[in-house]
C-alpha cells in the first residue's frame, strides 16, 4: 500500500521531467497511474471479504509513539476505489478541459498530490498520521481552488475554504490528542480496543465535539457549508473530484472510521443526526433557487453530504449500509454532472441557467449522459440512485427517537431534489435554443468518456446491484458496525411503506417542477423571499470576522510595536526588575549572613567616589562632564579589582577605559550638545524604574556572595597551571592556554568590530 502512495508522489513530480512527446500526454500518464492503483485495490477485494484486513506498520518516531500505520479493510476499500477510479476518469477529462490554460504542469502536480494525500488519509490507521494527510488535502484544495489566481473571487474563495477547513483540522487535532490521552495511543487499533474507556471518560464529550468540528468543516456541514459553493471557482475537474467525489467525503470517512470507537452514544446520535438533517435540508432548499449550474450542483452536494452524515449519525446497520451505497451513488452521478457542467461552460461560455437552453440539438450524447445522471440524483428507477433512496428511506424509518421528524424532512428534501433535477434537464437541454457566440459542439472524446463510464455504472449497477453489495458494501459494513449483516441489494423491494414514500416524493417533485416551469413569477418571488428571510449571508459574516481579526491584530501591533526605542528598553527593564523582586520576595529569604563594615576605609572612600561619578554622569548636562565622570567610575572599578587580587582585570580595565575615553573625545567634537529632550515627569519616572532595577541588583549581588560555587574547575586550573601549562599567572594561563579557543573567538569579535568601525567611518555618505 505504501508503495502506491510512493508511486503517486513520484509520478506527480515526474511530469516535470517527462520527455517532450510524453509530456503532451501527461494527463494520460497520470490517469494510467490511477488505473494501476485502481486495479491494485480492486484485485484485493476478495482478500478483504474473506481474510483479515491488511495492516502495515512502519516506525517513524517511535520515541513519541508516532508510527506509520496503513490499513486496508472494507471501509478503506470503498474510498480507495472511489479515489483511484474516479481519479483516473478525472485526469482523462482534465486533459480535454485544461488544454487551453497556462500552467497545467502545476495543476496536474496539485491534483496528483491531492490524490495521494486522499489515499493516504483513507489508508491511515494512526490518527496523527491521518491528521497530517487531512491537512494536506486542505492545502492542496486551497491551491486548486485558487488555480485561476488572477481572479480575486477565486483567491477569496480559496482563503475561505482554507481557513474553515484548517480551523476544523486544528480542532480535530486537539480532539485526537484529548482522546488519545485516555488510551495513551494514537493507533486506531488501540482506540477500538479501548473504546469502552474512551466513551466512559470525561474527555469523551469535548473530544467528540472537537473531532466533529473537523468533520463538519471538511464535509461542508451547516453552518460551515458556505465554503463549498465558493469553492466552485475551481476548474471543473477539481469541483468534480475534490468537492463532490472525494475530499468533502473525508469527514464522512472519519465518522465511519471512528464510529466503532465513539459511536452509539446519545451524544453521537443526536448531534450528528441533527447537523446532518439541517445540512440536508439547507442544501436541497437552496439548490432550487440557484441560477448558476455549478451553484446548483454545489448545493445538491451539500444535501448529499448532509444525508451521509445523518445516516452515520443514526448509526444502525441499515443506515450505514445505506450510507456506503450512497457514497458510490453520489460519486457516480455528481462527478458526472460536474464534468457535464464544465463541458457546457467550455462550449457555450456560460454557466447561467437563464442563458442556456436547447442544447440537446448540439450535444445529444451529453444530454443522454446528463439525463441519466439527473435521474439518478432524483432517485428514479432503474438507476442506482433509486436504490439508494429506498435504502435511505428504510434507514430513516428505523432511526431511533427522531424517526418521524427525520422522515418528514427527508421527504421534503428529496422533493426538492426531484424538482431541481428535472428543472436542470429542462432548462439546459430542452426548450428554445439560445443564441451562443459560437455554435456549441461536443468534440473531444475525452470530455465524455469519464461521465459516460460513470453514468453507465449508475445504470448497470442499478439493474444488477448484487455484486456491489456483497463484494464491497458488506466488508465496509463489517468494519463500521461490527455486526455482520447480509447485504442483498435489489432494485424491486415490493409494495411497502418505503415504495409509497418514493411515489409520494416523485409526485410532489414533479408538481413542484411544473409550478417552477409554468409560473415564471414563482422562482423570482421565491428568490426574493429567500433574500429577505436569509438576509445574513454566512460568507459575508466570515469575511467580516476575518476583517475584524486583522483590524484587532493591527491595533494590537500598533500598541506593542510602537517604534519608540526607549519604551522597548523600558518594558524590558520594568519586567526584569518585577521578576527579580518577585524572586526576592517570594522565593528567596531576606536573611543575609554578611555584616556591614567600612573597612578598609580607602575602599569605602573609593566607593563614594564611584557613586558620585555615576550620579554626576547620569544627571550632568555637559557632554565632557558626563564622559569624564564615566571614566572616573571606570578607573575606580579598576582600583577595586587591583585591591582584591585581580591584577589582570585592573590592567585590562585601565586600558579599556582609556581607549574608550580617547574614542569618545575623538568624536565628541563632531556630535551635538545634549539637548533637554524629556520632561521632568519623564525623568522622574525613569529614575524610579532605574532605582528599582538597581536596588534589586544590589540584593542580588549580596545574595550572590553567599552562593557556594563548585570549586573543582577553579582548583583544576590552579593545580595544573604551573605543572602542565608552565605559567605562573593562572588567569593568563586560562585565557591563552586552557581556554585559548574562547580567546580566539574574542579576538575575532574585536576584529569584526574593528572592521565594522573602519567601514562605517570610511565610507562616503550618500545624500538621502
Partner 1 sequence: MEIVLAIVVGILYTAGVYLMLRRSILKFIIGLIFMSNATNLLVFLSAGLVSGSPVFVDGEKINAEVMADPLPQALVLTAIVIGLGIVVFTLALKYKFFELTGTDDLDQLKKTDN
- Neighbouring C-alpha atoms within 13 Å toward the C-beta of 252: 33
**Shortest distance, CB of residue 739 to partner 1, whole angstroms?**
7
Q: Is 315 left (phi over 0), alpha (psi -120 to 50) or beta?
A: left
**Shortest distance, CB of residue 590 to partner 1, whole angstroms?**
14
- Residue 228: CB atoms within 10 Å: 24
Closest CB to partner 1 among 540 and 742?
A: 742
Closest CB to partner 1 among 581 and 693?
A: 693
**Shortest distance, CB of residue 587 to partner 1, whole angstroms?**
18
Closest CB to partner 1 among 495 and 596?
A: 596
Q: CA–CA separation, 229 vs 293, rounded Å?
A: 11
Q: CA–CA separation, 263 vs 44, rounded Å?
A: 28
Helix locations, 146-185, DSSP H: 152-183
**Shortest distance, CB of residue 605 to partner 1, whole angstroms?**
10
**Shortest distance, CB of residue 571 to partner 1, whole angstroms?**
11
Closest CB to partner 1 among 205 and 647?
A: 647
**Shortest distance, CB of residue 561 to partner 1, whole angstroms?**
10
Q: CA–CA separation, 55 vs 419, rounded Å?
A: 46
Helix locations, 15-151, DSSP H: 20-23, 26-43, 45-50, 74-97, 104-123, 127-145
**Shortest distance, CB of residue 755 to partner 1, whole angstroms?**
10
Closest CB to partner 1 among 202 and 765?
A: 765
* 197 neighbors 182 (Cβ within 8 angstroms): yes
Q: Is the peptide bond before 700 cis (omega within 30 degrees of 0)?
A: no
**Shortest distance, CB of residue 627 to partner 1, whole angstroms?**
7
**Shortest distance, CB of residue 694 to partner 1, whole angstroms?**
3
Closest CB to partner 1 among 368 and 697?
A: 697
**Shortest distance, CB of residue 550 to partner 1, whole angstroms?**
22
Closest CB to partner 1 among 195 and 699?
A: 699
**Shortest distance, CB of residue 574 to partner 1, whole angstroms?**
10
* 318 neighbors 394 (Cβ within 8 angstroms): yes
Question: 475: buried, middle or exposed (CB in 10 Å: 19+, 13-18, 0-12)?
Answer: buried
**Shortest distance, CB of residue 38 to partner 1, whole angstroms?**
56
For 672, residues 6+ apart whose C-beta sits below 8 A from its C-beta are none
- Neighbouring C-alpha atoms within 13 Å toward the C-beta of 746: 7
Closest CB to partner 1 among 60 and 573?
A: 573
**Shortest distance, CB of residue 585 to partner 1, whole angstroms?**
17
Beta-bridged to residue 71, according to DSSP, are 55
Residue with cell 486496508: 72
For 505, residues 6+ apart whose C-beta sits below 8 A from its C-beta are 379, 389, 411, 414, 415, 418
- Residue 699: CB atoms within 10 Å: 16
**Shortest distance, CB of residue 586 to partner 1, whole angstroms?**
21
- Neighbouring C-alpha atoms within 13 Å toward the C-beta of 549: 7
Cell numbers given for 157: 474563495
Q: CA–CA separation, 179 vs 187, rounded Å?
A: 11
**Residue 300 CA to its chain's centroid (Å):** 25
Helices 152-183 and 127-145, axial angle in degrees (round to 10): 180
Closest CB to partner 1 among 545 and 615?
A: 615
* 373 neighbors 458 (Cβ within 8 angstroms): yes
Closest CB to partner 1 among 579 and 607?
A: 607
**Considering Cα of 456, then 462, then 468, then 472, what sign does the dihedral take?**
positive
* Residue from 628, 654, 630 nearest 641 by CA: 654
Q: CA–CA separation, 377 vs 329, rounded Å?
A: 8
**Shortest distance, CB of residue 727 to partner 1, whole angstroms?**
9
* 99 neighbors 85 (Cβ within 8 angstroms): no
Cell numbers given for 59: 516506525
Element (H, E) at 395: helix 384-398
Cell numbers given for 583: 524572586
Closest CB to partner 1 among 514 and 643?
A: 643
Beta-bridged to residue 72, according to DSSP, are 54
Closest CB to partner 1 among 482 and 748?
A: 748
**Shortest distance, CB of residue 135 to partner 1, whole angstroms?**
35
**Shortest distance, CB of residue 667 to partner 1, whole angstroms?**
5
Cell numbers given for 660: 574608550
Closest CB to partner 1 among 495 and 564?
A: 564
Q: CA–CA separation, 23 vs 29, rounded Å?
A: 9
For 77, residues 6+ apart whose C-beta sits below 8 A from its C-beta are 41, 44, 45, 48, 472, 475, 476
Q: How far from 643 is each of 607, 640, 649, 730, 766, CA to CA, in Å?
A: 13, 5, 11, 17, 51
Cell numbers given for 593: 549572613
**Shortest distance, CB of residue 242 to partner 1, whole angstroms?**
42
Question: 493: buried, middle or exposed (CB in 10 Å: 19+, 13-18, 0-12)?
Answer: middle
Q: How far from 553 is each of 166, 541, 548, 561, 580, CA to CA, in Å?
A: 19, 18, 8, 11, 31
Amino acid at each position: 500500500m505504501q508503495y502506491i502512495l510512493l508511486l503517486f508522489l513520484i509520478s506527480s513530480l515526474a511530469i516535470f521531467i517527462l520527455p517532450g512527446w510524453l509530456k503532451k500526454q501527461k494527463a494520460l500518464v497520470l490517469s494510467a497511474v490511477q488505473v494501476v492503483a485502481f486495479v491494485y485495490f480492486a484485485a484485493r477485494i476478495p482478500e478483504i471479504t474473506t481474510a483479515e484486513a491488511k495492516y502495515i506498520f512502519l516506525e517513524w518516531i517511535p520515541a513519541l509513539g508516532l508510527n506509520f500505520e496503513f490499513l486496508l479493510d472494507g471501509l478503506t476499500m470503498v474510498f480507495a476505489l472511489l479515489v483511484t477510479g474516479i481519479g483516473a476518469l478525472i485526469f482523462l477529462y482534465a486533459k480535454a478541459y485544461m488544454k487551453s490554460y497556462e500552467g497545467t504542469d502545476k495543476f496536474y502536480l496539485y491534483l496528483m498530490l491531492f490524490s495521494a494525500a486522499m489515499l493516504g488519509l483513507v489508508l491511515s490507521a494512526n490518527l496523527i498520521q491521518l491528521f497530517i494527510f487531512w491537512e494536506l488535502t486542505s492545502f492542496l484544495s486551497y491551491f486548486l481552488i485558487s488555480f485561476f489566481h488572477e481572479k480575486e473571487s477565486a483567491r477569496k474563495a480559496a482563503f475561505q475554504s482554507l481557513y474553515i477547513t484548517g480551523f476544523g483540522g486544528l480542532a480535530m487535532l486537539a480532539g485526537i490528542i484529548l482522546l488519545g490521552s485516555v488510551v495513551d495511543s494514537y493507533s486506531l487499533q488501540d482506540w477500538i480496543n479501548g473504546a469502552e474507556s474512551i466513551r466512559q471518560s470525561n474527555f469523551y464529550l469535548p473530544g467528540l465535539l472537537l473531532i466533529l468540528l473537523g468533520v463538519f468543516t471538511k464535509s461542508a456541514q451547516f453552518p460551515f457549508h458556505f465554503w463549498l459553493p465558493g469553492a466552485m471557482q475551481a476548474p471543473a475537474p477539481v469541483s468534480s473530484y475534490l468537492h463532490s467525489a472525494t475530499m468533502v467525503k473525508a469527514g464522512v470517512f472519519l465518522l465511519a472510521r471512528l464510529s466503532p470507537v465513539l459511536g452509539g452514544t446519545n451524544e453521537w446520535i443526536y448531534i450528528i443526526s441533527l447537523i446532518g438533517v439541517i445540512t440536508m435540508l439547507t442544501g436541497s432548499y437552496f439548490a432550487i433557487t440557484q441560477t448558476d449550474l455549478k451553484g446548483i450542483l454545489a448545493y445538491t452536494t451539500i444535501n448529499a453530504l448532509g444525508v451521509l452524515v445523518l445516516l452515520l449519525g443514526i448509526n444502525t446497520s441499515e443506515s450505514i449500509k445505506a450510507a456506503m451505497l450512497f457514497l458510490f451513488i453520489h460519486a457516480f452521478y455528481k462527478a458526472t454532472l460536474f464534468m457535464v457542467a464544465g463541458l457546457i461552460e467550455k462550449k457555450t461560455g456560460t454557466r447561467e441557467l437563464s442563458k442556456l437552453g436547447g442544447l440537446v440539438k448540439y450535444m445529444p450524447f451529453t444530454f443522454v449522459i446528463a439525463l441519466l445522471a439527473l435521474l439518478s440524483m432524483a432517485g428514479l428507477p432503474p438507476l442506482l440512485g433509486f436504490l439508494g433512496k429506498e435504502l435511505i428511506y428504510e434507514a430513516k424509518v428505523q432511526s431511533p427517537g427522531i424517526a418521524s421528524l427525520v422522515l418528514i424532512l427527508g421527504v421534503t428534501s428529496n422533493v426538492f431534489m426531484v424538482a431541481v433535477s428535472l428543472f436542470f434537464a429542462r432548462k439546459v437541454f430542452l426548450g428554445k435554443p439560445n443564441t451562443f457566440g459560437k455554435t456549441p459542439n461536443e468534440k473531444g472524446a475525452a470530455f465524455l468518456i469519464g461521465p459516460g463510464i460513470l453514468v453507465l455504472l449508475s445504470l448497470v449497477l442499478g439493474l444488477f446491484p448484487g455484486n456491489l453489495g456483497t463484494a464491497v458494501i458488506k466488508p465496509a459494513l463489517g468494519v463500521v458496525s461490527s455486526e455482520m449483516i447480509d447485504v442483498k441489494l435489489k432494485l424491486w423491494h415490493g409494495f411497502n411503506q418505503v415504495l409509497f414514500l418514493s411515489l409520494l416524493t416523485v409526485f410532489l417533485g414533479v408538481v413542484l417542477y411544473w409550478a417552477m416551469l409554468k409560473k415564471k413569477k414563482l422562482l423570482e418571488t421565491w428568490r426574493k423571499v429567500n433574500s429577505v428571510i436569509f438576509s445574513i449571508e454566512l460568507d459575508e459574516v466570515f469575511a467580516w470576522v476575518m476583517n475584524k481579526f486583522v483590524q484587532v491584530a493591527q491595533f494590537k501591533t500598533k500598541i506593542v510595536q510602537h517604534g519608540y526605542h526607549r519604551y522597548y528598553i523600558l518594558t524590558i527593564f520594568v519586567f526584569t526588575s518585577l521578576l527579580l523582586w518577585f524572586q526576592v520576595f517570594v522565593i528567596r529569604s531576606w536573611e543575609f549572613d554578611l555584616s556591614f563594615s567600612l573597612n578598609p576605609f580607602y575602599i569605602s572612600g573609593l566607593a563614594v567616589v564611584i557613586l558620585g561619578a555615576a550620579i554626576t554622569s547620569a544627571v550632568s548636562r555637559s557632554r565632557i562632564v558626563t564622559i569624564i565622570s564615566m571614566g572616573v567610575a571606570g578607573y575606580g572599578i579598576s582600583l577595586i579589582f587591583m585591591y582584591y587580587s585581580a591584577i589582570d582585570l585592573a590592567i585590562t580595565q585601565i586600558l579599556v577605559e582609556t581607549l574608550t575615553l580617547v574614542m569618545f573625545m575623538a568624536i565628541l567634537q563632531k556630535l551635538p550638545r545634549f539637548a533637554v529632550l524629556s520632561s521632568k515627569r519623564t525623568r522622574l519616572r525613569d529614575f524610579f524604574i532605574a532605582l528599582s532595577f538597581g536596588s534589586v541588583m544590589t540584593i542580588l549581588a549580596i545574595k550572590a556572595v553567599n552562593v557556594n560555587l563548585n570549586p573543582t574547575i577553579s582548583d583544576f586550573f590552579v593545580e595544573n597551571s604551573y605543572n602542565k601549562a608552565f605559567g605562573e599567572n593562572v588567569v593568563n594561563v586560562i585565557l591563552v592556554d586552557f581556554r585559548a579557543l574562547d580567546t580566539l573567538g574574542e579576538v575575532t569579535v574585536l576584529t569584526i568590530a574593528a572592521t565594522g568601525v573602519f567601514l562605517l567611518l570610511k565610507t562616503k555618505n550618500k545624500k538621502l
